[in-house]
Amino acid sequence: MSSPSSEYSSSSESDDAEMMGEIGEITHEQIEAMMNAAAEEPCEYVPPPVQDVSSITLPDHIATTCIGTITGIVDGAVMVTNSSAKVFDLSSLLIVQQPDGILVLGKIDDIIGQIEKAIYVIYRSAEEAAAFEVGSEVLAVEGLSTAVNVDVLKQQKFTDASGANDKEKEADFSDDDEERRQRKARRTRRPAAH
C-alpha cells in the first residue's frame, strides 16, 4: 500500500505530463496565428458609470472653496486641474458658478497625477458634459467635500507594482559595486526577525 503523499505525487506527476503533452502539441505557427487574431480583434471601450446628479440638492447658502479650473472634457469625463492649496478626496462635491446660477458638476470619481497638481475626474454623459466649458472655475462645496492631509500622503510609499509577480521592480545597475552597496543598505534597514 502506498502512502498518501506518494499517491498525490504520482497523480500530480501524471497531470503535469498530460498538460505538457497538450502544450507540446501547439506549434510555433499556431501560437503566432492566435496572437495575430487577438491583435486584430477590436478592443471594446466600456465607459465608466455616469453620475446622476439630479438628486443632489444644495442648501440656499453654501460655503465654497475655489479648487481650480476645467482643463479638459473627453467623452463625458470632465477633468479639473487643482490649483488650490487643499487636495480633495473622492466623492467631494464640485460645482461651477455660471452667470445664470450654480451648475452641479458632480462628485470626484477619480484622481490622477501628482499630489501637488492633482487632476480630478468627474464622469458625466457626453450630453451633460457639453454644458461645461474648458476654463470654467470649479468650486468645492464645504461640508460636502473632504480635504486630504497632503503631508500624511507624502509620507506613505506608493508603487505601481509593475515588476514580476506584481512586485516592485529592482533598480537596474550598470555597476556591480553600486548594486552590492544598494542591497547591503536595504538589508541593514530591515528589522531583524526574532
Q: Going from the first residue of the chain to its last (194 residues), give the mean pLDDT of each consecutive group of 10, the final group possibly shorter.
A: 44 48 64 74 72 82 93 94 92 90 92 88 92 95 90 70 60 67 76 57
* CATH number assigned to the domain comprising residue 113: 2.40.10.230
The DSSP H or E segment spanning 72 is: strand 64-74
- Answer yes or no: is 32 within a domain: no
Q: Is residue 106 part of a domain?
A: yes
Domain-located, residue 50: no
Q: Does residue 187 lie within any of the structural domains?
A: no
Q: What's the domain count of the chain?
A: 1
Taking alpha carbons only, the member of 81, 86, 61, 63 closest to residue 71 is 81
- Cell output for 99: 452667470
User: Is 56 a domain residue?
Assistant: no
Residue 53 in grid coordinates: 446628479
In a domain, 80, yes or no: yes
Per-residue confidence (pLDDT) for residue 169, from 0 to 100:
59
The boundaries of the domain holding residue 97 are: 61-148
- Whole-model pTM above 0.85? no
Residue 73, in any domain of the structure: yes
Query: Using CA atoms, how far apart are residues 120 and 107, in angstroms rounded to an integer?
Result: 9
Q: Does a structural domain hold residue 156?
A: no
